[in-house]
Amino acid sequence: MGKINAVITGVGAFLPDYVLTNDELSRMVDTNDEWITTRVGIKERRIEKDPQKPASFLGTKAVENLFERTHTNPDEIELVICATSTPDHIFPATAAYIAENCGIKHALCFDVQAACAGFLTAYTIASNFIESGRKKKVLVVTTEKMSFMVDYTDRATCPLFGDGAGAVLIEGNEEGFGLIDSEMRTDGAGTDYLQMKAGGSAKPASHETVDAHEHFVYQEGKVVFKHAVTNMCATTAEVMERNNLKGEDLRWFIPHQANLRIIEAVGERVAIPSDRVYVNIQKYGNTSSATIPICLWEMQNNGQLKKGDKIVCTTFGAGFTFGAIYIKWGYDTDK
Ligand code: UT7
């Protein structure tokens, strides 16, 4: 038996209908389309306005979309890993709600908290279950209702984030397709620069924490920006070197979509031709763990992914958790 790799065999996604534009944001806080476009690269983002529709709703829709595309029977799924920073509840796992909604009855389900690095972390974890032969069909779901923790009175953070979900089906492959390499790391010295200050056991919710807006995303943007560029470059370069890859060998480079300036800086520093760097931040903003699956979903639907394509993905988020993976794409996609 050859080596088993964990290959993506289908991608689904869900984006809420409501489009929050820069112009609408400009009427809410002291900002403007020009600042957001030039400093971040976002034009609009999607928002799930219905308070009755939490992260599990978005994740469920993404899985339904995936199942429809791949004709998957929920009974075949043996493991559900949900990456989210906006869980329905602190406990139990959002993965359990999604599994229940989707009729998945025979799977272990758990959540991963790696913020924006959630997808690459969850895929790396999933690959170990697949490579060992312990699980055969794994779902990785990334779902974020970022709008629930965005302070729409804070111009420094409210233009950045959007809601959305992505889901991938992962199976074993013995022909050399799938996850070839992964370099994921955490620098815990970064915890204070990007976090939700209250609501956990370190600072339980109180009237004071609500009054102080401490249940929203807190970010020191400049510090995060610097660390994002440095660490995404370092891990991408490491993965490319280890696998003898030059920029022009890659069909696609898919970075986490947090800021167009970060994406361009990383792409240039690791010498990837700019037409191979995938960008959709202008449409959806930063959907945290869901950005890379949403890119893959768009690319799949546009027929932009071919069997054997060499792809490097990189990410950076709270923790700081960051890294890069190298995959050989496993199936041809058609429009
Ligand atoms: O996904 C997780 C990882 N997160 C990231 O990777 C995000 C990393 N950080 C960033 O992308 C950027 O730091 C931000 C987009 C968050 C901010 O961009 P920046 O270029 O670092 O701007 P800044 O915070 O230094 O602010 C520059 C100026 C300030 O004005 P003064 O002090 O120079 O007069 C801000 O008050 O821009 C002002 N400003 C705004 N102006 C108009 C900040 N936000 C806005 C705004 N509209 N929305």
pLDDT of residue 68: 97
Please give the number of the atom of ligand 1 that sits closest to the Cα of 159. 48
Just list the catalytic residues.
Answer: 116, 256, 286
Q: Atom 29, ligand 1: which residue's CA is nearest? A: 156
Whether 5-177 shares its CATH topology with 180-328 is answered: yes
d(CA 184, CA 136): 23
- CA–centroid distance, 222 to ligand 1, in Å, is 7
The protein residue whose alpha carbon is closest to atom 8 in ligand 1 is: 225
Residue with CA closest to ligand 1 atom 36: 156
Q: Where are the domains of the chain?
A: 5-177, 180-328
Select from 14, 199, 9, 11 the least CA-distant residue to 101. Answer: 14
Which of ligand 1's atoms lies nearest the C-alpha of 155?
Answer: 48
Nearest C-alpha to atom 17 of ligand 1 is from which residue? Answer: 221
Instruction: Give the pLDDT of residue 334.
Output: 84
Q: Where are the beta strands (DSSP E) in the chain?
A: 5-14, 18-21, 44-47, 79-83, 108-112, 137-144, 164-173, 178-186, 194-196, 217-219, 252-255, 310-317, 321-328
Q: In the chain, how many H helices and how many E strands?
A: 10, 13
Mutate to test the pocket of ligand 1, among 34, 142, 225 (most ligand atoms within 8 A of CB): 225
Q: Report CA(217)–ligand 1 centroid distance (Å).
A: 14
Written as one letter, the residue type at 150 is V
Q: Whose CA is nearest to atom 47 of ligand 1?
A: 31
Q: How far apart are the C-alpha atoms of 148 and 210, rounded to whole Å?
A: 14
Structure tokens at 36: 């957001």
Pocket lined around ligand 1, Cβ cut-off 6 Å: 31, 35-36, 39-40, 116, 155-156, 159, 221-222, 224-225, 228, 258-259, 262, 286, 316-317
Beta strand extents in 55-193 (DSSP E only) = 79-83, 108-112, 137-144, 164-173, 178-186
Mutate to test the pocket of ligand 1, among 27, 39, 225 (most ligand atoms within 8 A of CB): 39
What pLDDT is recorded for position 2? 82
SS3 51: coil
Q: How far apart are CA 165 and CA 255, in angstroms?
A: 17
Please say whether the beta carbons of 164 and 287 come within 8 A: yes
Interatomic CA distance for residues 108 and 335, integer angstroms: 34
- What would the CATH number be for the domain defined by 180-328? 3.40.47.10
Walk along the chain (335 residues) in steps of 10 and give the mean pLDDT of each run.
92 98 98 98 98 98 98 98 98 98 98 98 98 97 98 98 98 97 98 98 98 98 98 98 98 98 98 97 98 98 97 98 98 88
Looking at the domain covering 5-177, what would its CATH class be? alpha beta
**Ligand 1 center to residue 88 CA distance, Å?**
29
User: Are 294 and 166 within 8 A, CB to CB?
Assistant: yes
Q: Are 205 and 198 in contact (CB under 8 A)?
A: yes
The reported pLDDT for the residue numbered 1 is: 63
At residue 240, the pLDDT reads 98
For residue 81, the 8-state DSSP code is: E
For ligand 1, the distance from its centroid to the CA atom of residue 316, given in whole angstroms, is 17
